[in-house]
Amino acid sequence: MNRRFRLRTLHRLRERRLDAAAGELAKARWALAEAQAQHRTLTEAVHACIAPAHATPEQLSGAAVRRDLLRQRVHRAAETVQRRHDELCAALDAWRGARTELRAVEALHERHRQAVAAGDARREQRQADDLASVAVLQHSVAEQGDGPGGDAA
């Protein structure tokens, strides 16, 4: 049996693909966390944007304009969060697919190792059987040589 695993190149490629997918997944998680943090910061800024109790009309209109601008930024940040979430889902699916493909090749590799081990065991058993049969034959010949009509007679 060929002792070399024929799919080892494919195995290495699948491992690299899984590593790359894991890297992309980590980047997607980081990007989502950053987008969520930005969204939280902007939302807090909207809630904090209030005019003082004794504000002038200019201060009131300035605060209203600032709140409107912040709300627009919050809306864009929410869209970014959704987009980053979708990217994370895609990266997770890619990682799962890469992991599944690697596991399939690893299962084939394990079968190959088991087949090689079984072949080695059969070969060792044949050698042991051959040695045992030679020993029995030598013992049988030796016993026949010691009897009457042998060289001793």
Nearest to 41 by CA among 80, 12, 15, 3: 80
Amino acid symbol at 27: K
Whether 20 maps to a domain, the answer reads yes
Query: Which two tokens mark 10?
Result: 């494919």
Q: Which domain range does residue 40 map to? A: 8-104
Residue 140 lies in a domain: no
Q: How many domains in the chain?
A: 1
pLDDT per position as a tens digit, 11-25:
899 999 999 999 999
pLDDT digits (tens, 9 = 90+) for 77-116: 999 999 999 999 999 999 999 999 999 988 988 888 888 8
Whether 46 is covered by a domain: the verdict is yes
Kindly state whether residue 94 falls inside one of the protein's structural domains.
yes
pLDDT digit string, tens, across residues 26-79: 999 999 999 999 999 999 999 988 888 888 888 888 888 999 999 999 999 999
Residue 81 within any structural domain of the chain:
yes
Residue 49 structure tokens: 């944007």
pTM of the model: 0.67
* 61 assigned to some structural domain: yes
Residue 6 in this model has a pLDDT that exceeds 80: no
- Residue 121, in any domain of the structure: no
Residue 150 lies in a domain: no
CA distance 47 to 63: 11
